[in-house]
Structure 1
């Protein structure tokens, strides 16, 4: 049933109550003629049994808010720290570059770009299998803890490699575990680089060793601190709250009625995912962010150093752009973010002739780019999830979109050519072009969804069936 509803358009099925409708029972829903407008009848027509409908109707708004707040406080902080740690371990190679990485390992600019880009190959390949595997664990915290240990070990070993082959091998390992996050990278690099000479190691080695060991230590907390499911949280959730959360979770997956296992692999669902037109527009959208984002992420310390700053000062100056980008994430809209990115790279491209004479304008452009970058990915992910019907299709679809979208990190790793510094015409020009492509994809999707949604609002319940 969920798939039939989806075939009519990418918006969520009207056969099931959405999360918003479970939380706000007063929302109107389409229903057949001569049906009572009571809340319980609305839920019954959504496919719920009378007993379940009565339970949801009598679960007060105050209790709903209290219940969700409990989940937020127990789940979000640890996930935020884990994501931050993963992001730091992914991006710190850019900080290591200006601390002597290329000199010590005798790397050319092309070899550095290859080592950066190789991360994305296993990251893309492992994304979909990892999502399927995660759903098979009764306790997801176990799986997350294991992969955190894995990427921590890989990151630590990066600090002791002695050649190009070793660097590529450890970057591959980090990519695998990252599949199975920038302000703090620069801040930590600034502090850790001061350890230059300790133990006979250069500063860039300590960046990898310290941050890798921190990831391993963090994994111990993941095993115990993460919330696995409402049913396994009886210590701090009441029985009625557990039941409400389970119903809410099923509604969010689009399977209040249909007993669909999101962890079961299904070839027909995979085919629906790879032939879904909207996912490819979202991938273009994702690439419009990923290429310029990763390109700037891995090159930002070098760009700032080219403005005339020392390595230590350049490390610290990478912090404000990321901090500002994080703050703006909460208040920005998807399309406005695109325009921020386009304008930022237009400024950098026009001022690249002489960075040192245009420090203020160029640094402002870097901050402006981060303002645009970081709200985009959460927006794309939410947009995609809200327009995929069915638990399995939603799980596979978001993993497919993210994995293919992250391939944008490969060209992003190569567009800032070492011999073109400090002007980087290829880097700034390519970033500008990809950001423009993202704007076109965003507008196309928005217009398509508006048209489909207007058509669906005119449909009766019989037509939906």
Structure 2
């Protein structure tokens, strides 16, 4: 009896300690949420929200948001890169283009595209319904793409490429911002990958569509390459119209398909994710301090470098892929079809690697590993491409490897920076600035594959791709070490010490500069 009594006493004591521990955790969570402006009722609602209801909620968002953005991004990339398909169908000859005029036509698109990305995301915040703004953008670029099919000379093509870059500038940063606004950080990269894999699939679809559309050569007095622009542009216009009706806006404006509890959960989620900073962002007023913080932060440039190098490789290869496959000895039609498998492999890789990255909540190891694969691909191509007709298998595998490595890099980089910026306005501007700087790689990518080097295996293109892949490995290591150093420095001080030094409002205003904030690695 004595032993049993002692055992019962120990059991009761253990239970009491467990209850006390749970109470302490609940008190800590209440205090944590209270510091960012949540009431006890909201904190209880969020922490006790049923797991099955949460999963159901994000499945609904997956069904509503991601497919719409993916389709829009698919056609955004088809419309900007189908010029590569048009090239091997006779566009250059018909427009009387010589020298590097084709490369100029590629690069001129990126001038307005880069300049307008940050202002566009600022403007997006002014719209009550993002679907209205994005729908207008899609209609505009679809119309411009359609008109590209009737140009008669190099000047007309240049005008269309410049105009195309204006509305397309706003879509990608806006879409990334929307995804980060709907999902918790631990789920962002997978959704970005599902959306971004449309970029890879655009290459596959573009080749397939070009293969079919080019057979319309001569119909209506238009060449086959012209029909590529006209028909693909008209489809984009139709999709732009649909965008006004099917694209979700914000949780607060989605009462038709979200329950009140689901809307409440998402609104609280955003408050927590942004560390309560939006409660101190009065209205949607633009704050220059956020932009100043971003442009003076070296980490932003290291992040942007990752996207920059990915853009150099992605655009350089996408604009030139049909020419590369044609140089293997295939006909124009066969070359269009041969571009499909590498892009499909890239799309599968983007989704698969992103799922793993979200599961383990790590970004650096995956970016580093992906760029290693890209490096291997260029290492194979650089020496073998001059004799590509006799090294078809090895060179084609190398192209596939590059796509497998480069396409997961963009969602990984975007997820990494979005998780390391706190505050709605700052995150919107930071994402846009990062993409803006990153997409400037498209200008470089437009010039690295020169027609004059086609017969000698594009040594400049493959050599520069190799160099940029290696540089990305170095920059990603520097960025990771920087984040680790800052986190370690912040961990030297306890939360109590920090709160004695700063008020709650100061900590919230500091956002990711708060000593309580920890960078994602």
Check whether TM > 0.5: yes
Aligned twin of 2:404: 371
Mapping for residues 96-135 of structure 1, pairs under 5 Å: 96-135=86-125
Matched, 1:179 2:169: yes
Check whether the contact 2:37–2:276 (CA below 8 A) recurs between aligned residues.
no
Distance of 2:305 and 2:319 partners within structure 1: 21
CA distance in 2, matches of 1:412, 1:397: 23
Residue 446 (str. 1) matches residue 480 (str. 2): yes
CA distance in 2, matches of 1:339, 1:257: 39
**SS of the residue 2:244 aligns to:** helix
- The 1:115–1:263 alpha-carbon spacing in structure 2 relative to 1, beyond 3 Å, is farther
Deviates more, 1:348-357 or 1:232-241: 232-241
Residues 47-446 of structure 1: matches in 2 within 5 Å? 47-180=37-170, 181=199, 182-255=203-276, 258-260=279-281, 263-332=284-353, 333-422=366-455, 423-446=457-480
Whether the 8 Å CA contact 2:278–2:423 is kept in 1: the answer is no
CA distance in 1, matches of 2:267, 2:408: 29
Q: Distance in 2 between matches of 1:366 and 1:386?
A: 31
Superposed CA offset, 1:119-146 (max 9, x none): 0000011101110111111111111111
CA distance in structure 1 between the aligned counterparts of 2:234 and 2:122, rounded to whole angstroms: 28
Q: 1: CA distance between counterparts of 2:476 and 2:283?
A: 28
Offset at residue 249 of structure 1 (A) = 2.4
CA distance in structure 1 between the aligned counterparts of 2:433 and 2:35, rounded to whole angstroms? 33
- Local SS of the residue matching 2:408: helix
Match of 2:103, SS state, is helix
Q: Distance in 1 between matches of 2:368 and 2:332?
A: 35
Give the total of aligned pairs. Answer: 433
Deviation, structure 1 residue 57: 2.7
Alignment partners' CA distance in 2, 1:394 and 1:456: 21
Runs of 5+ in structure 2 lacking a partner? 1-23, 171-198, 354-365, 503-521
TM-score of the pair, normalised by structure 1: 0.89
Distance 2:276 2:424 in 1: 7
- Equivalent-residue separation in structure 2 for 1:64 and 1:431 (angstroms): 43
Cα 1:257–1:325 change in 2 (3 A) is closer
Which structure has the larger Rg?
A: 2
Moved more, 151-160 or 240-249: 240-249
User: What is the CA distance between 1:252 and its match in structure 2?
Assistant: 3.0
CA deviations over 1:404-427 (Å, ceiling 9, x no partner): 211111111111111111311111
Query: Are the aligned partners of 1:48 and 1:257 in contact in 2 as well (CA < 8 Å)?
Result: no
Give the Cα–Cα distance (whole angstroms) in 1 for the partners of residues 56 and 312 of structure 2: 41
Is the Cα contact below 8 Å between 1:133 and 1:263 reproduced in 2? no
- The answer (yes or no) to whether the contact 1:264–1:392 under 8 Å persists in 2 is no
Task: Report the aligned-residue RMSD.
Answer: 1.8
Task: Tell me how far 1:41 sits from its aligned partner.
Answer: 4.4
Q: Deviations over 1:77-115 (max 9, x none)?
A: 111111111011111111111000110001114100000
Report Cα offsets for 1:127-168 as digits up to 9, x if no partner.
Answer: 011101111111111111111010001101111100011000
1:353 offset after TM fit, Å? 2.0
How much does 1:257 deviate? Answer: 6.7
Which consecutive residues of structure 1, in runs of 5 or more, have no partner in the other structure?
A: 1-33
Would you say the 8 A contact 2:36–2:275 is kept in 1? no
Q: CA deviation at 1:35?
A: 8.1
Instruction: Decide whether aligned partners of structure 1 residues 135 and 105 sit closer, same or farther in structure 2, where only a CA change above 3 A counts.
Output: same
Cα 1:293–1:262 change in 2 (3 A) is farther
Distance 1:166 1:410 in 2: 20
Between the aligned partners of 1:213 and 1:251, the Cα distance in structure 2 is: 42
Contact 2:315-2:442 at 8 Å conserved across structures: yes
